[in-house]
Amino acid sequence: MVERRDTDSRTLLRRLRDTLATPGGGQDRLDHITHLIADSMHTQVCSIYLFRDPETLELCATEGLNPEAVHQVRMRLGEGLVGRVARTGVAVNTGDAPSEPGFRYMPETGEEIYSSFLGVPIQRVGEKLGVLVVQSREAREFSEDEVYGLEVVAMVIAEMTELGAFTGDQGGIGSAHRFPVMFRGATGQEGAAEGRVWLHEPRVVVANPVGDDPDAEKARLEEAVATLQAHIDEMLIGSAAMDKEQRQILEAYKMLAHSRGWVRRMCEDIDLGLSAEAAVEKEQSTARARLEQSTDAYLRERLHDLDDLSNRLLRLLTGQGKDTGAELPENPVLVARNIGPAELLDYGRKLKGVVLEEGSVGSHAAIVARALAIPLVIHAARVTNEALNGDQILVDGDQGIVHLRPEESVAGAFRDKIAMQAEAQKRYADLRGVPAQDKSGQNVSLMMNAGLMADLPSLNSSGADGVGLFRTELQFLIRSRVPRRGELAALYKRVIDAAQGAPVQFRTLDIGSDKVVPYMKPQEEPNPAMGWRAIRVGLDKPGVLRMQLQALIRASEGRPLSVMFPFIAAPDEFNTAKAMLMREIDRESTLNRPVPRDVRVGAMLETPSLAFAPDSFFAACDFISIGGNDLKQFFFAADRENERVRRRYDTLDVSFLAFIEAIIARCNANDVALSFCGEDAGRPIEALTFAALGLRTLSMRPASIGPVKHLIRRVDLAVLKQVIDAARARGDQSVRHAVTAWLASQ
Ligand code: PEP
Ligand code: MG
């Protein structure tokens, strides 16, 4: 009996596949398919409903219902039994359709005489295409085998869609089903871009959904599963150095890869006529639909594992690697689950934008995207499931929004926005040669933050007065091994050369916390941001810091050198680090090598403690730079990496401003140069407020220099200071409202 069912199913699938080879348009094929299915399943009715837009399904072909209703009958997602199947992605099977909750009677179709109803989703890895329905007169529920069989048929229809079987006329579902989708993520890097999707890991194309020889297909599947299991076991053996979370993920993979149920279900699909690849995809889609319904966050998290394993299995089966030979489209926008900094750098400025499902503001990829000034949206959930290579895509890095296959009206509005930004950039470019001077003649020095060679061209184009923060750790993060002294010296020299005499403040290695270098054993720390990081690592394991200092000294070739140490929390740390630098200079000198003409040594003020250090500390510093990103997170006790809290407290909160003012006062009293180099320095309102409070050097990403300068030149900072003081006297919690209202009135 089982054998008979399998043979029937295989015959049906083969016939479906053969329709691919028949001439005729998409509608002819759809009509033929409904006929074949009704015949094979012994039902009076078979219908195919397809999405016309994300909310509407349309009857596109039928055997048994009123032919006049085709392309006339439509329903909303969730409406009626068909709408329910589409919404949930789960089959509906009933012997008495009219009594089912949510049943909606559609007189145009003539379906009132059919009592039983079986509907299954037509979907492909999370992409919902429509619903396949069979109906018959006798009031009986369909058997489990029949449900299963229809799901397999639906899978083949979905794969045929992917292969373009139904494109061509009004019944076509080739491109019409690719609707506009909007993703709401978070800002990784501001800016707007329009382009074409480039999938970092393209989806596998299943060329043949139907298998001719079930035994051969099962053998292929089992071999691929064995290889996959062996890979995962190997990874687990090598996982000793991984952190707990990574190991847990691998363990979960292992469980899934060894799950008998998973392999058994795929073998059953093959028995019914699917190819091994299509069986993997069917199992992935069905499990997805189930997991997505789950309210258990842990289970939903497992979606990633499932997708990952299925994709690996598909690549093993098809032999398709990540490189499909496809050419990078014009204006490529990279879409990926996540990407490493080195890979992103490889693409370089070719990319117009980047959209990631994961990532974080402080992730290395985000840092690289920022350095390259590429708009980046992170946390765009499920974008890799929806996007296909070549799809039109709009990236709004300012709002953290992505439009995939946008409506023309949305694309039009977006282009206006890009044009306006380009217009503004042109205006800012005209300001390049003029100083950031307010109306009363007060000058503010605007410097840029950098960390990659890719940043260097910005030194000229932005009009920066120099590099206020060179994050040296980026060179460590993008490599798979510790860079050598010679390499670093050559690189630092190129930076100093590019600055053409303008100052460059090199910050020594700031690793730990969110910045994990691949070749250092990760530390399992409960609070890495407050853990073993930055100067703490440098002093405890001085080898790398010493090598870096030597590289800096050599790179200077006798020219002036500025070095600052990150995350100084107590004067001792600064004194020890400074002594180390001086010792290295002495050593070079005894070796008769050139030493920097003028050495300036500074500290980054990133912990509140340092603001209260004794005067002797300030006297020992040549300059201090406020690392506002860290300082703010410790001031408000709000993790800068945590989306829930990182925007909770305003930088213009009067308490924080009072603290900044106190730091300014201490630096002034001790005659120490002070700058601010956190991200806030590049936000025009924040920058203006800091300048009004007396900060005379701001270091920011290059793209912010124009807008900040533009604003400074339009105001009188002393008047703004009065506005700020008045707001504080009134008891405002933040001066933001007062500052923006005043600016608007100018
Ligand atoms: C800061 O903390 O403000 C800073 C500039 O350092 P980073 O962002 O690299 O930690
Ligand atoms: Mg910092």
Residue 486 confidence class, pLDDT cut points 50, 70, 90: very high
Lowest mean pLDDT among 378-382, 565-569, 676-680: 378-382
Which atom of ligand 1 lies closest to the CA of 510? 9
The per-residue pLDDT for 175 is: 41
Regarding the beta carbon of 209 and ligand 1, being less than 6 Å apart is answered no
Which atom of ligand 1 lies closest to the CA of 513? 10
Mean pLDDT within 661-688: 97
User: Has residue 171 got a pLDDT over 50?
Assistant: no
The backbone torsions φ and ψ at residue 543, rounded to the nearest 5 degrees and listed phi first, read -55, -50
Regarding the beta carbon of 680 and ligand 1, being less than 6 Å apart is answered no
SS (H, E, C) 607-670: CHHHHCCCHHHHHHCCEEEECHHHHHHHHCCCCCCCCCCCCCCCCCEHHHHHHHHHHHHHHHHC
Range(s) of the chain covered by CATH 3.30.450.40: 6-176
Which residue has the least CA distance to atom 6 on ligand 1? 627
User: Has residue 170 got a pLDDT over 60?
Assistant: no
0.85 exceeded by pTM: no
Asked if 76 and 93 count as a contact pair (C-beta separation under 8 A), the reply is no
User: Has residue 254 got a pLDDT over 60?
Assistant: yes
CA distances (Å), 710 to each of 97, 379, 427, 687, in order? 68, 32, 9, 11
Give me the residues near ligand 2 (ion), CB cutoff below 5 Å: 606, 627, 630
Percent of the chain with pLDDT strictly greater than 90: 56
SS (H, E, C) 148-209: HHHHHHHHHHHHHHHCCCCCCCCCCCCCCCCCCEEEECEEEECCEEEEEEEECCCCCCCCCC
Asked if 554 and 593 count as a contact pair (C-beta separation under 8 A), the reply is yes
For ligand 1, mutation pick of 189, 604, 630 (most atoms within 8 Å of CB): 630
Distance 511 CA to ligand 2 centre (A): 10
Looking at domain 6-176, its CATH superfamily turns out to be GAF domain (3.30.450.40)
The per-residue pLDDT for 322 is: 64
**Among 234-248, 292-306, 597-611, the range of highest mean pLDDT:** 597-611
Looking at domain 181-202+325-421, its CATH superfamily turns out to be Phosphohistidine domain (3.50.30.10)
Fold of 214-318: Enzyme I; Chain A, domain 2 (1.10.274)
Distance 608 CA to ligand 1 centre (A): 14
CA distances (Å), 166 to each of 51, 234, 469, 615, in order? 13, 43, 57, 78
Distance 316 CA to ligand 2 centre (A): 43
User: Has residue 499 got a pLDDT over 90?
Assistant: yes
User: 169 or 642: whose pLDDT is higher?
Assistant: 642
The per-residue pLDDT for 300 is: 65
Distance 649 CA to ligand 1 centre (A): 17
Regarding the beta carbon of 510 and ligand 1, being less than 6 Å apart is answered yes
User: Has residue 174 got a pLDDT over 70?
Assistant: no
The one catalytic residue in 46, 60, 621, 677 is: 677
Lowest mean pLDDT among 122-126, 348-352, 498-502: 122-126
Distance 85 CA to ligand 1 centre (A): 50
Regarding the beta carbon of 628 and ligand 1, being less than 6 Å apart is answered yes
Distance 26 CA to ligand 2 centre (A): 59
Q: Between helices 260-271 and 214-237, what is the axis angle to 10°? A: 160
Residue type, 398: D
Closest CA to 178 of 389, 363, 449: 389
Regarding the beta carbon of 269 and ligand 1, being less than 6 Å apart is answered no
Which residue has the least CA distance to atom 9 on ligand 1? 471
Mean pLDDT within 641-653: 88
Strands 127-136 and 116-124: antiparallel
Asked if 452 and 344 count as a contact pair (C-beta separation under 8 A), the reply is no
Q: pLDDT tens, 178-218?
A: 678 899 999 888 889 999 999 988 777 788 889 989 999 99
Regarding the beta carbon of 512 and ligand 1, being less than 6 Å apart is answered no
User: Has residue 728 got a pLDDT over 90?
Assistant: yes
Closest CA to 369 of 397, 390, 391, 329: 397
The per-residue pLDDT for 522 is: 67
Active site annotation includes 677: yes
Regarding the beta carbon of 515 and ligand 1, being less than 6 Å apart is answered no
Regarding the beta carbon of 471 and ligand 1, being less than 6 Å apart is answered yes
Range(s) of the chain covered by CATH 3.50.30.10: 181-202+325-421
Closest CA to 666 of 603, 608, 725, 615: 615
Which residue has the least CA distance to atom 4 on ligand 1? 627
The one catalytic residue in 32, 46, 60, 364 is: 364
For ligand 1, mutation pick of 367, 536, 606 (most atoms within 8 Å of CB): 606
The per-residue pLDDT for 215 is: 95
User: Has residue 236 got a pLDDT over 90?
Assistant: no
User: Has residue 237 got a pLDDT over 80?
Assistant: no
Mean pLDDT within 624-649: 91
Q: Which ligand is nearest to the CA of 678?
A: 1
The per-residue pLDDT for 576 is: 98
User: Has residue 168 got a pLDDT over 60?
Assistant: no
The per-residue pLDDT for 298 is: 67
Q: pLDDT tens, 82-92?
A: 999 999 888 99
Structurally, at CATH architecture level, domain 443-712 sits in: Alpha-Beta Barrel (3.20)
Residue 221 confidence class, pLDDT cut points 50, 70, 90: very high
Q: What is the mean pLDDT of the chain?
A: 88
Residue 177 confidence class, pLDDT cut points 50, 70, 90: low
For ligand 1, mutation pick of 564, 629, 683 (most atoms within 8 Å of CB): 629
Distance 654 CA to ligand 2 centre (A): 22
Residue 299 confidence class, pLDDT cut points 50, 70, 90: low
Give the DSSP letter string of 423-488. HHHHHHHHTTTS--B-TTS-B-EEEEEE-SGGGHHHHHHTT-SSEEEEETHHHHHTSSSPPPHHHH
The per-residue pLDDT for 681 is: 97
Regarding the beta carbon of 606 and ligand 1, being less than 6 Å apart is answered yes
Regarding the beta carbon of 630 and ligand 1, being less than 6 Å apart is answered yes
User: 319 or 33: whose pLDDT is higher?
Assistant: 33
For residue 508, the 8-state DSSP code is: P
Residues in CB range of 542: below 8 A, 6 or more apart: 580
Lowest mean pLDDT among 139-148, 429-438, 473-482, 615-624: 473-482
Closest CA to 347 of 371, 324, 363: 371
Q: pLDDT tens, 395-414?
A: 999 899 999 999 898 999 99
Distance 629 CA to ligand 1 centre (A): 5
Active site annotation includes 379: no
